[in-house]
C-alpha cells in the first residue's frame, strides 16, 4: 500500500509540473501571439494558394484559448478535435493520478495508447488530403 501512495505522489508531482508549464505556455502564447506570428515562416503550401492540414491551426488554438469556439472550429477542424481529445485525456489524467479516482484508469488507457496515435496520424493524413482537393 505504501508503494502505491509513493507512485501516486510521484504521478501527481508530474501532473502538477505539466499543469504549470501548460498554463505558463498558454499565457505566453496569448500575450505574445502577434509577435510569435511575425517570426513563424509562411506555410509553403499556403504561399502557393493550397491549404495544408495545419493551415489555420495556430489561429484555431488561439481562438480556443480566447473562448471563440465556433471560429476555432471553422479555421481547422482537425486541430479543434485534437485539442478537445487532449483536453479529455488531460481531465482523465487529473482524475486518475491526482485525485485517485479508480474508474478513470480504463478510459485513460483506452484513449492514450499507441493505437490512438496511429488513428490520429492516419486521420491527419486524410484530413490533409481532403483539404487539398
- Residue 60 contacts residue 76 (beta carbons within 8 Å): yes
- Of the CA atoms within 13 Å of residue 21, those in its CB half-sphere come to 6
Band the pLDDT of 3: cuts 50, 70, 90: low
Instruction: Check: pTM over 0.85? Answer yes or no.
Output: no
How confident is the model over 9-42, as pLDDT tens digits?
787 888 888 889 988 988 888 888 878 777 777 7
Amino acid at each position: 500500500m505504501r508503494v502505491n501512495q509513493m507512485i501516486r505522489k510521484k504521478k501527481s508531482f508530474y501532473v502538477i509540473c505539466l499543469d504549470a508549464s501548460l498554463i505558463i505556455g498558454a499565457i505566453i502564447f496569448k500575450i505574445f501571439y502577434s509577435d510569435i506570428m511575425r517570426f513563424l515562416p509562411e506555410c509553403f503550401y499556403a504561399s502557393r494558394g493550397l491549404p495544408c492540414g495545419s493551415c489555420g491551426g495556430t489561429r484555431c488554438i488561439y481562438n480556443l484559448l480566447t473562448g471563440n469556439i465556433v471560429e476555432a472550429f471553422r479555421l481547422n477542424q482537425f486541430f479543434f478535435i485534437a485539442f478537445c481529445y487532449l483536453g479529455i485525456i488531460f481531465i482523465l489524467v487529473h482524475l486518475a493520478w491526482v485525485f485517485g479516482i479508480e474508474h478513470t484508469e480504463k478510459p485513460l488507457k483506452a484513449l492514450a495508447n499507441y493505437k490512438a496515435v496511429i488513428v490520429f496520424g492516419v486521420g491527419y493524413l486524410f484530413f490533409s488530403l481532403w483539404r487539398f482537393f
